[in-house]
Structure 1
Amino acid sequence: MSSSETAPGRGTAVVIGGGLAGVVAAWALRGSAERIVVVERDRYPDEPTFRAGVPQGRHAHLVLEAGHRALEEMMPGIKQELSAAGAHRIAVSGDLKWLSSAGWMADYPARLSFLSCTRPVLDKLILDRVRTEPSIEFLEGTDVVGLLGSARTVTGVRVRERGSERDPERGSERGSEHNEEQSSGRGEVRDIPAELVVDASGRSTSVPKWLAELGCRPVPEERVDAGVAYSSRLFHRPPGVDLGYQAIYLQTKAPDKPRMGVLLPVEGDRWIVSLAGMRGAEPEPGEEGFTKHLAQLRDPGLRDALRDAEPAGGVRGFLPGPGVRRHYERGGPEGLVVVGDAASTFNPVYGQGVTVSLFCAQALRRTALRYGGIGHATARDAQREIAAVSKNAWMMSCAEDVRFAATTGGPSGALIRIQHRFLDRVLAGATRDPEVTAAFHEVLSLVAPPSLFFRPSVLAAVLRS
């Protein structure tokens, strides 16, 4: 059935990008669109494995508590499926040993937790659920090469099949280079008209460039760049080892030594270890650089945990690029919704990206159900809600990024200095007062807004610190 024959606002929705943000956005639109087309440049593997289209996939990932709640609401039973696939439940206190800039977090009976697994397992289970919906179809091995429409309204996409030639290893750590290198296309270009286009193409999105080609003015954006770089490796967990905790997170203490490290248990009786450094303290390449960075962390706990662990793969590096927040709610064209990293790209060290992508899908579903379809009113309200649900995460990550002297962009001035001093008091309180620690975990897990710190009992404990 063509879109012209369907009920108003219930025609075709096209989702650009079939990563996690794209597939949950497609799932959110079920029942609101007659046809949902997900255009994905890769071809999905049959089994959970790392793929070129997710360059950050080889590194440690978190779905925060708020993200798990959102995912379970959208896909009931998915947490049980993740556990069955080998994901480990990690309580944020007790199971997780967390060294903040102020010291070790105080232990308490934590209500919050997260499930730890590799990104391919998470992606595969979500994809399998989305594939059960008959109104959603996938165009794999296909590039979007442009948008249809005008400066005022997006009316579809232009696509081209890539062909079967690809190397899953080449480009897996190169992000946008992979896109440009292999999108020169081999197939015929064709158009897909749509009532709604969702950009879920991630950090390397080309939508701003395509909108400029349609005559659209650039949307307002904010940028902050701490120059973060990653180095990660999988390890076999030594038989019978008991660390006294399941995961460890070591943060930096001083802005002039911005080095971090995390160890998380994942399926297959393995650990994934990710090391990170801001500009000026980036991990050097390869195994030698990984070992050197590990030795430079401010606590030996992570290094000691790996003393008898055998590597389960090579060292992988990743350069995420700057954090960018694009304000499509202020000036985007009709018929377009932008979600996930294409809308707000965060510094990955704070673990917010996946959870915010799930928030975006929830916002899209709420508005589509409210309007009973995918018309322009749905797109406008969805974009406003997406901006709202990602605001706190953006503010928190930017505020932390600008602590580092080599960071470019981001907020500055007296207000941000006051925020830093207050958060330093919160972190100090979290090392000794379980009520402050619990509040800090709720805010960082995106379960509660930062205003939680001003609840009288929490504020009193913070001020005592």
Structure 2
Amino acid sequence: MRLGQTAVVLGGSAAGLCTAGALAPFFDQVLVLERDRLPAGAEHRRGVPQSKHPHFLLNSGRRAIGALFPGFEDDLIAAGGLHLMPSMDAAYLDGAGWSARKRSAMTMIYGSRILIERVLRDKVRELPNVVIREGVTAGGLTFDGGAVTGVEAGERLDADFVVDAMGRGSPVAGWLAAAGWPEPQTQTLDAKVTYTSRWYDLPAERPASWWWRHLVIMPTPDKGEHPAEHDFLVNFFPVEGNRVIACMGSWGLEMPRTTDAFAEVARRVRTPLFADAMERCEPVSEVHLTRSTGNKWRRYDRLRTPPRGLAFVGDAICAFNPFYAQGISSAAGSALLLREHLSRAGRLDDGFGKRFLAAQRKALQVPWRLAMARDQGYECAEGTEKPPEWKRRVLAAVSAPAFSLIVGAAREDDVVDEHFAKVFNLDESLGDMLGNPRVLAGLVRYRVRAALGRHRVPFGFDPRAEPPATDYSTVAAR
């Protein structure tokens, strides 16, 4: 069913590409306007500086992109993406020490942001009615009464529908204000997250002790005196081409900017394994640092009369702390939701925009609340969503122990593990998980068994030693 002649997508990164796939069945022509010149292969570009850091593609995102572009996952793996089970393929340092290996409900596709976008571009270019115009900067919108009718981009492009996918820095709210709409209310919370990454080639032959593919070091639970680096969240993240991204991040702390400082600081994190692994690899990049990590939700859904013929996808409407790996999956979910609403629409009237924004609000609340649950506990956080001090102290006191409780219970209880995987992958809200009687029973049972010293699966292995390679799956099952 066709709903118009032309749709325009502002922005050609992951959010814009997914949106192009969502729009293609409903318009004669879909134009994607991208400011950068796009590389033919998997290469970094100016408009996506975060591509230099690790990116998780959560299961909800995998499914959404697969629904928009059948065969995407197979193509991503064929291009070098890695299909891994983190509980078996990652060495995970949480709480007092290393966790045990065991099979779980969650698998993930590992790959760089530049590979994900290259495969997405290839899928979009297979669509005969989608055109990507490179080197084009949108400078404004055109209007007729309460409707958006086109885009100013060096020339006027008439459009029946426009989607803003221009990211955190999108100017569209300002364009709407200049045309008479009120500025949307904006919820913000910046927990002062900074992260720094460097890319490495893995050795041709992995050391015998490297059963793991991914190394994760969580911040220490120790509240006493300890090196600042013990509060870092650290990843040694595998990507395509036998490469890894070494990444260190923190909330409110200074991070290294030079290669010498990067290597020096790495030696002070909670385990020597991280620095030792880096020293066995060959660096292939400089150090890349990012501070643009605040949570920001432009509440277009609260406008009394949203502009007709305009939608928002990805960071242009709701941007998250990248630590939580929600961005691409949330954007893909919004694009798929848009396709579902377009498939039911008889026409693009005022009601369409309101219905879509209401449904999108409900979907965005899941990742937003997860981000708030962690970031609101930090004293350094600033923004409209900064809680009262008493609430911040409570969140700071309970969030890390609660997370460790859930992770511990998931090691020994398949039902808790299944629901925790759904929450992590944005398939279920944290509230729904904790409201499940069976999950609550599993958490209580684990807590009682832990108090009695009756763990099924050992944990807390010495962080100064190599993580244990033993598969404890059968122990957990018993």
Q: What does 1:414-433 align with in structure 2 at a 5 Å threshold?
A: 417=394, 421=398, 424-431=401-408, 433=411
1:143 pairs with one of 131, 137, 146:
137
Q: How many residues align structurally?
A: 429
Aligned to 2:242: 269
Name the structure 1 match of 2:269. Answer: 297
Residue 347 in structure 1 maps to residue 321 in structure 2: yes
Cα RMSD after superposing both structures: 2.3
In structure 2, distance between residues paired with 1:116 and 1:395: 25
Pair 1:249 & 2:216 matched: yes
TM-score by length of 1: 0.86
Gaps of at least 5 residues in structure 1 are 1-6, 161-189
- Whether 1:356 aligns to 2:330 is yes
Q: Determine the C-alpha separation between the residues in 1 that align with 2:341 and 2:286.
A: 44
1: CA distance, partners of 2:424 / 2:97: 17
Per the alignment, residue 4 of structure 1 pairs with none
Q: How does 1:323-342 map to 2 (within 5 A)?
A: 323-331=295-303, 332-342=306-316
The sequence identity of aligned pairs, in percent, is: 28
State the alpha-carbon separation in 2 of the partners of residues 125 and 285 from structure 1: 31
Deviations 1:61-95 (A, max 9, x none): 11011111222222221111111111111213111
Quote the offset at 1:238 in angstroms.
1.4
TM-score, normalised by the number of residues in structure 2: 0.84
- Paired residue type of 2:264: K
Secondary structure of residue in 2 paired with 1:238:
coil
Deviations, residues 194-232 of structure 1 (Å, cap 9, x unaligned): 221100001111111111211210111110001112211
User: Separation in 2 of the partners of 1:73 and 1:92?
Assistant: 24
- Relative distance call for 1:203 and 1:294 in structure 2 (3 A) is same
Is the CA contact 1:340–1:360 (under 8 Å) kept in the aligned structure 2?
Answer: yes
Distance (Å, rounded) in 2 between the aligned partners of 1:131 and 1:373: 27
Residue in 2 that maps onto 1:212: 177
**Residue 378, structure 1, aligned to residue 352, structure 2:** yes
Supply the AA of the counterpart residue of 1:307.
E
Residues 377-456 of structure 1: matches in 2 within 5 Å? 377-409=351-383, 410-413=385-388, 417=394, 421=398, 424-431=401-408, 433-435=411-413, 436-450=416-430, 451-456=432-437
The answer for the alignment partner of 2:444 in structure 1 is: 463
Aligned partner of 1:180 in structure 2 is none
Distance 1:340 1:76 in 2: 21
Deviations 1:418-454 (A, max 9, x none): 6963762342242354324443232112122211233
Q: What is the alpha-carbon distance in structure 2 between the residues aligned to residue 195 and residue 377 of structure 1?
A: 15
Distance of 1:150 and 1:106 partners within structure 2: 61
Aligned equivalents of 1:235, 1:93: Cα separation in 2: 23
CA–CA separation in structure 1 for the residues paired with 2:181 and 2:91: 48
Answer whether contact 1:108 1:434 (CA < 8 A) is retained: no
Structure 2 gaps, min length 5: 448-478
Letter in 2 for 1:42: D
Residue type of the alignment partner of 2:33? V
Structure with the greater alpha carbon radius of gyration: 2
The 2-side partners of 1:418 and 1:454 are apart by 19
> Hey, what's the Cα distance between the residues in 1 that align with 2:350 and 2:437?
43
Asked if structure 2 preserves the Cα contact closer than 8 Å seen for 1:426 and 1:462, the reply is no
Q: For each residue in 1:361-410, what CA deviation from the matched residue of structure 2 results, as whole angstroms up to 9, or x when unmatched?
A: 11110000011554543333222222221211011112211222111132
The worse-fitting range, judged by mean Cα deviation, of 151-160 and 66-75 is 151-160
Pair 1:330–1:304, CA change in 2 (3 A): same
* Alignment partners' CA distance in 2, 1:442 and 1:103: 25
Deviations 1:129-168 (CA, angstroms, capped at 9, x unpaired): 11111221122101001111167332221113xxxxxxxx
Change (3 A) 1:102 1:396: farther
The farther-off stretch of 297-306 and 413-422 is 413-422
Does the residue aligned with 1:142 lie in a helix, a strand or coil? coil
Q: Secondary structure at the residue paired with 2:401?
A: helix
Distance 1:411 1:108 in 2: 38
- In the alignment, which residue of structure 2 is the partner of 1:181? none
Q: Which residue of 1 aligns with 2:289?
A: 317
Match of 1:55, as an amino acid? P
The 1:103–1:194 alpha-carbon spacing in structure 2 relative to 1, beyond 3 Å, is: farther
Equivalent position of 2:71 in the other structure: 77
Aligned to 1:72, the other structure's residue is in SS state helix
